[in-house]
Amino acid sequence: MAQKAAKATARKNTSVLTNLHLISLAVNLFFILWRFVLHYGSVTKSAIYLYVLLNAPALGIQLYLESIGRPRDARKAGEDVNSSGLMELLWDVIYVTWACLVLVAFFGERVWLLWLVIPVYGAYAAYTTAMGMRDSLGGMGGGMGGAANDMAAPSKRQAKLEKRGAEGKAVKYR
């Protein structure tokens, strides 16, 4: 049964990665043809540096997804490239880079500032994760906000057990 799921994951990864590479090739070719061939007058050294520097993370992520999605060992199915968590963030970097490439082709170099959405969102996600962990850890470094609320209002089950104990109907074990 597990082998069937692994084969399905491998098939899905193959399809997703093929589409990823084709779309990336199309977007990059469009950008290069539009900016560097049709509008070669607007190309500067800084335009080339920005293209290489800000497109490199997306290309690196594509290589990483390729390596984990289609492992070299035939006995392994590979990781699911559409899983949640970090994979979603990696896909977001790719999508934002593609959007920047298309918009920069039409509107100029200032649109690369849109790429700043990625580190800003990363900082926001790290902050909210840290705050959530701090609240859930309770006395280990965070406030007692979550634990104090739990003590104030016991659950229905806990209240029922306390009531039984007070009545003297506690269950006796042998």
Query: Going residue by residue through the chain (174 aa), what tens digit of pLDDT does each one get?
Result: 567 777 788 888 888 899 999 999 999 999 999 888 887 777 788 888 989 998 999 999 999 999 888 877 666 667 888 888 888 888 989 999 999 999 998 888 888 888 888 888 888 888 888 888 877 776 555 444 555 555 567 788 888 878 877 776 555 566
* Region for 108 from its dihedrals, namely left if φ exceeds 0, alpha if ψ lies in -120 to 50, beta otherwise: left
171 within a domain of the structure (yes/no): no
60 within a domain of the structure (yes/no): yes
What is the domain extent for residue 47?
2-115
Structural domains in the chain (count):
1
Assess contact for 16 and 69: CB atoms under 8 A.
yes
Q: Which helix (H) or strand (E) holds 40?
A: none
168 within a domain of the structure (yes/no): no
20 within a domain of the structure (yes/no): yes
16 within a domain of the structure (yes/no): yes
Quote the CA–CA distance of 116 and 152 in Å, as a whole number. 44
The angle subtended at Cα 129 by Cα 145 and Cα 69, nearest 5°, is: 150
| N- to C-terminal Cα separation, the chain | 43
136 within a domain of the structure (yes/no): no
Quote the CA–CA distance of 24 and 26 in Å, as a whole number. 5
Which residue from 20, 3, 172 is spatially nearest to 95, judged by alpha carbons?
Answer: 20
Which residue from 71, 96, 68 is spatially nearest to 82, judged by alpha carbons?
Answer: 68
170 within a domain of the structure (yes/no): no
Q: What share of the chain is helix, strand, coil (3-state, %, to 5)?
A: 80, 0, 20
CB atoms within 10 A of CB 98: 19
